[in-house]
């Protein structure tokens, strides 16, 4: 969960108001502060390489009638390096106010720009600008900044140091550092290289709301909050769905040891239950064999490959099989990767957040993966 005052979690369970504001940065300098934004649509998806995306509308009126709508590369609000720090301000009662950062984004597009002009003493002034902007988190810039030629890490002593070097962004170390297991040759995609490095620490790379690079542990952490229905609760509705496109019953690890020129292979599979790969007599199970293939330059021995297969099989065979969409009262403290205990009349379960959708309304959609079936 995002950091907050000790009072805010209780405020979010009662009556409060919210408004979105944005700070704009050009060449690293903040040029506009607390600009009101409307029509906010924000999405955080743990399954995407660029996990944070969104859009909003700026309605801006300059005190001196100056036009701020972008007309050329380099103009403020243009999608050529301008950064946006988006926050939500929560107010309640007579004096409670708190700002929660939601993300640091790059402007990726300005699909609609409307400027209203008028004549004054023979000159043309701007009555105001209405600018729609599309947002993507800072991983978008890393993704577009591809390797010109294949490269290798200059040092194998620290994963975090290499992640910082590749992204050019500050890091927040939420996972213990470790050495890079072997010399690798990066291909074209720099962002994919960052995600591959995170697997060395058994984590998933992510952007935090303060604009720093971090990692979520792949192992489920302890629950950070309880979401409940009824009096005093903030859970509005529960929608459940199941899909098999991300559920596998076998993992096959295929890699290559460049030092010995030998192939590295390992596998693991489900041998019992409805996801078993085959029946006792050797015939195919009703679910058949659904393999998940994984390859990494960081795996160079058979023992490493087998350990990864054994570790990952439970994750790809069960944790993503049940998806639950929670409608809850707006809560800006939620982050992808948070684990929640959920209580609803007649059922109780634990889930890990995979997706969050927020807008200008009073609720948000929080999607969680559930271990097994809710009880």
- pLDDT for the residue 130: 83
Q: Is the overall model pTM greater than 0.85, yes or no? A: yes
- pLDDT for the residue 7: 96
Token pair of 166 as six digits: 């590749």
- pLDDT for the residue 373: 44
- pLDDT for the residue 46: 94
Residue 319 above 60 pLDDT?
no
**70-84 per-position pLDDT tens digit:** 878 888 889 999 999
- pLDDT for the residue 374: 41
**33-57 per-position pLDDT tens digit:** 999 999 999 999 999 999 999 999 9
Interstrand relation of 203-207 and 213-217 (parallel, antiparallel or unpaired): antiparallel
Angle (nearest 5°) at CA 79 between 37 and 137: 70
Burial code (b: 16+ CB inside 10 Å, e: under 16) for 111-130 equals: eebeeeeeeeeeeeebebbe
Question: CB-based contacts of 75: which residues, under 8 Å, 6+ apart?
Answer: none
Alpha helices, DSSP H only, in 53-187? Answer: 139-144, 159-167
Residue 6 above 90 pLDDT?
yes
Structural domains in the chain, sorted by start = 8-137 (no CATH), 143-217 (3.55.50.10), 225-243+321-370 (2.30.130), 250-317 (no CATH)
Average pLDDT over residues 139-144: 97
Higher pLDDT, 176 or 230: 176
- pLDDT for the residue 118: 65
**175-186 per-position pLDDT tens digit:** 999 999 888 888
Phi and psi dihedrals of 13, rounded to 5?
A: -90, -5
DSSP line for 64-90: T----S--STTSTTSTTT-EEEEEEEE
Mean pLDDT, the chain, as a whole number? 90
Q: Which of 200-209, 319-328, 362-371 has the lowest mean pLDDT?
A: 319-328
Q: Of 343, 77, 97, whose CA–CA distance to 230 is shortest? A: 343
């Amino acid at each position: 969960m995002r950091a907050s005052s000790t009072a805010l979690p209780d405020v979010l369970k009662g009556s409060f108001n919210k408004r979105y504001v944005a700070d704009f940065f050009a060449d690293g300098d903040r040029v506009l502060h607390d600009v009101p934004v409307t029509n906010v649509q924000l999405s955080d998806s743990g399954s995407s390489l660029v996990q944070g995306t969104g859009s909003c509308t700026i309605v801006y009126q300059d005190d001196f009638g100056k036009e701020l709508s972008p007309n050329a590369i380099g103009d403020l609000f243009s999608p050529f390096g301008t950064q946006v720090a988006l926050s939500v301000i929560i107010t309640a009662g007579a004096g409670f106010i708190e700002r929660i950062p939601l993300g640091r984004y790059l402007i990726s597009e300005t699909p609609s720009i409307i400027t209203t002009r008028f004549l004054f003493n023979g000159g043309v002034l701007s009555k105001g600008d209405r600018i729609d902007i599309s947002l993507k988190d800072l991983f978008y810039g890393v993704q577009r900044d591809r390797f010109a030629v294949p490269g290798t890490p200059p040092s194998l002593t620290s994963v975090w140091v290499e992640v910082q070097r590749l992204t050019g962004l500050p890091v927040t170390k939420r996972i213990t550092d470790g050495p890079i297991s072997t010399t690798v040759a990066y291909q074209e995609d720099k962002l994919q290289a960052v995600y591959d490095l995170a697997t060395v620490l058994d984590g998933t790379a992510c952007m935090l709301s303060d604009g720093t690079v971090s990692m979520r542990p792949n192992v489920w952490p302890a629950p950070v909050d309880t979401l409940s229905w009824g009096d005093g609760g903030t859970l509005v509705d529960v929608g459940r769905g199941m899909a098999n496109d991300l559920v596998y019953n076998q993992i096959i690890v295929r890699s290559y040891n460049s030092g010995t020129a030998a192939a590295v292979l390992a596998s693991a599979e489900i041998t019992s239950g409805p996801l078993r790969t085959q029946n006792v007599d050797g015939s195919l199970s009703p679910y058949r064999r659904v393999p998940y293939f994984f390859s990494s330059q960081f795996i160079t021995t058979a023992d490493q490959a087998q350990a990864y297969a054994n570790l990952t099989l439970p994750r790809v065979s069960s944790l993503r099989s049940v998806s639950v969409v929670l409608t809850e009262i707006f809560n800006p403290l939620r982050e992808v990767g948070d684990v929640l205990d959920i209580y609803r009349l007649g059922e109780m379960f634990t889930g890990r957040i995979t997706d969050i959708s927020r807008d200008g309304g009073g609720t948000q959609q929080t999607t969680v993966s559930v271990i097994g079936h809710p009880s």
